[in-house]
Each structure stands twice: as structure tokens, then as C-alpha cells.
Amino acid sequence: MDQFIFKNKLKWISYDKFENINKYSDKEGFGIIYKAKYKRIKVILKDFNHLNNSDECLNEFLNELSSDFYLTSN
């Protein structure tokens, strides 16, 4: 995950920096989705902790996200 963040110039944000965290959807594909705010900007958070094989699921999610970044940047 650290390589993905570095490669795609993403910023890791500590969980405690988010406000108004509310569950949005249960088990949506790769994890539970939450709505929140970060510096007054609406964001989506994904929780992978409940998954049995979270490392594998996280890698699959990051690969999908990477593909989406590639498609939208071209």
C-alpha cells in the first residue's frame, strides 16, 4: 500500500482527522463504506478490517483503483 500511495502521489490521512463519520453502506464489494468530512470536504472512507483476508482484498482494491486512475488520467 505504501508503494501505491507514493506512486500515485496520494496523501495518507490519519483517521482522527476526519469528522462526521457515518456508515453509508454495508459490505460494498471490498469493504464497508463511510461518509465523512475532511477539512470541510465530503469524502468516502472504506473499512477493510472486517474482511478475513484483508491484505489480499486491499491489494485487489488498490489494483482496481490504480486502473481507474490510469483510465481517468489518459
Handedness of CA 71, 44, 49, 5 (dihedral sign): positive
Please report, in tens digits, the pLDDT of each residue of the chain (74 residues total).
566 666 666 677 888 999 999 998 776 566 778 899 999 999 888 776 666 666 776 677 777 777 655 544 44
Q: Please give the residue range of the domain that contains residue 7.
A: 2-73
Q: How far is CA 12 from CA 8, 17, 18, 22, 64, in A?
A: 11, 11, 12, 20, 18
Q: What is the C-alpha separation between 57 and 33, in angstroms, rounded?
A: 15
Q: What is the pTM of this model?
A: 0.56
Residues 6+ apart with CB under 8 A from 22: 34, 35, 36
DSSP, res 74: -
Number of domains present in the structure of the chain:
1
